[in-house]
Amino acid sequence: MFKHILLSSLVCASLSAQSFEIFLQNALQNSPYLQANNLNKEQAQEFSSLTTRYKNPTLELEASNFSPDLGESEIGYRFALRQPIRLWGVSANREDFAAAKEEQSLSLVRLKRAEFVREISLVFSEYKSALSAEVLAKEELIISEKIVEISKARYKNGTVARVKYLQAKVDQHRVKNRLDELAIKRLKSYYKLLTLSGLSEEVEIGSDYIFTLSVSSTTENSAELNFAKTEVKSSLSSAQLSANKIEWIDLVGEFEQEPNQSIARLGVEIPLAVFNTKSEEKKISQIEAKKSELLVQNLTNTTMLKLKEIKKSLTMLEKLQKSTQILLDYQEELLKMYEDAYKVANIDLIELQIVKNQMIQTESKAIEIQLSLEQKIIEHNFLTGEYNE
């Protein structure tokens, strides 16, 4: 009976509210954090162009004054054009490196989006739990007020002492005090949700959304793992690029006009990799790539263990939820019997309040179990890539 009242209260409160699906979509579209995150895509494309672009040519202009021992001096001139040329193999390595860095940036964008969805889902589950706890406190207050009414009537009739009536009033105000505390907690979680979403306007959010477990149970689409793998590719491509001892040669064209002759030159300038063979850069990149590979292996193992733990926890929580519901059904029935008996007989008030408090504790436990279930589902969905684009 009591669980139906609680669910009905939550459903009624959600009828005129915005659904969590719509709220989440609005957050995904309008969040300044995600908009800034999406700019990494453009930044990655520009970095790719930066990595593969050619160097600018240089132009040398020179005027000369030739002064012979006899006769008038004459003016000569010279100009030279120098164009750096990237070696063919280096160009391919730079393109591979640029593509790897762009893939890494796009993977990071997807990871940040997935983390955003996970975080906002976790906060929403907290908000739901806080709202349920507040509704439960309101229902407890209704029960306490009924007990106060019965106690007051019996006190006036002289069937119970005033102390019994005062005990009922104390319990009533205790519940009111707890209700105020829960209202503050619910308000805090609500604004935490709004702050995370990045939305500037307050909206009423429905609490009837139910998180469902993703079908996948593998890490194949994990945003975290995919990003870690792109870091490996980026490190490997960086190591390959660093292996090039010589990246550029200069093509030089020159024309010089002297008083009695014209000189044209065409040649290349080739740097000699004698002292700087880039062996250190290559070694550093190889070590970085090896570190990334080991971190991917560690993350894969950790993620698989997390998924196994979540699966087992969900099974145990579902079992606990069922047994808690059975206990709650019995407690509701017992409370109803005590309430009815207290109206017509001299049932001890303390016993009635104990039964009531036990039922409320069980219902609070049920809310905590539901929160744990939802948060495990949210984490499972994130690890399996459910929140990827």
Note the pLDDT of residue 255. Answer: 87
Host H or E run for residue 182: helix 162-197
Note the pLDDT of residue 12. Answer: 47
Contact by Cβ (8 Å): 240, 93: yes
φ, ψ at 241 (rounded to 5°): -65, -40
CA nearest to 125, candidates 26, 185, 17, 209: 209
Task: Kindly give, in sequence order, each residue whose CB lies less than 8 Å from that of residue 87, ignoring residues fewer than 6 positions away.
Answer: 244, 246, 247, 248, 249
Q: How far apart are CA 389 and CA 113, in angstroms?
A: 8
Contact by Cβ (8 Å): 240, 288: no
Q: What angle do CA 236, 240, 244 make, to 5 degrees?
A: 160
Note the pLDDT of residue 216. Answer: 82
Sign of dihedral through CA atoms 326, 329, 331, 337? negative
Mean pLDDT by 10 residues, the chain (389 residues): 46 65 90 87 81 83 76 79 82 83 90 94 95 94 90 82 88 93 94 89 89 86 90 84 79 85 86 76 83 90 93 95 95 88 76 90 95 95 83
Q: Which two tokens stand for residue 279?
A: 């062996």
Task: Kindly give, in sequence order, each residue whose CB lies less than 8 Å from that of residue 320, ignoring residues fewer than 6 positions away.
Answer: 369
Q: How far apart are CA 204 and CA 260, in angstroms?
A: 91
Looking at residue 68, what DSSP letter applies?
-
Note the pLDDT of residue 9. Answer: 47
Q: How far apart are CA 140 and CA 351, in angstroms?
A: 16
Q: How far apart are CA 271 and CA 96, in angstroms?
A: 24
Q: Which two tokens stand for residue 27?
A: 């957050």
Q: Residue 361, Cβ neighbours under 10 Å: how many?
A: 11
Note the pLDDT of residue 2. Answer: 42
Q: What angle do CA 323, 137, 18 make, to 5 degrees?
A: 90
Q: Residue 195, Cβ neighbours under 10 Å: how many?
A: 10
Q: How far apart are CA 119 and CA 27, in angstroms?
A: 12
Note the pLDDT of residue 279. Answer: 78
Q: What is the CATH number of domain 2-57+88-247+278-383?
A: 1.20.1600.10
Q: How far apart are CA 168 and CA 150, in angstroms?
A: 9
Note the pLDDT of residue 69. Answer: 65
Q: How far apart are CA 98 and CA 110, in angstroms?
A: 19
The position carrying tokens 């990494």 is 40
Domain ranges of the chain: 2-57+88-247+278-383
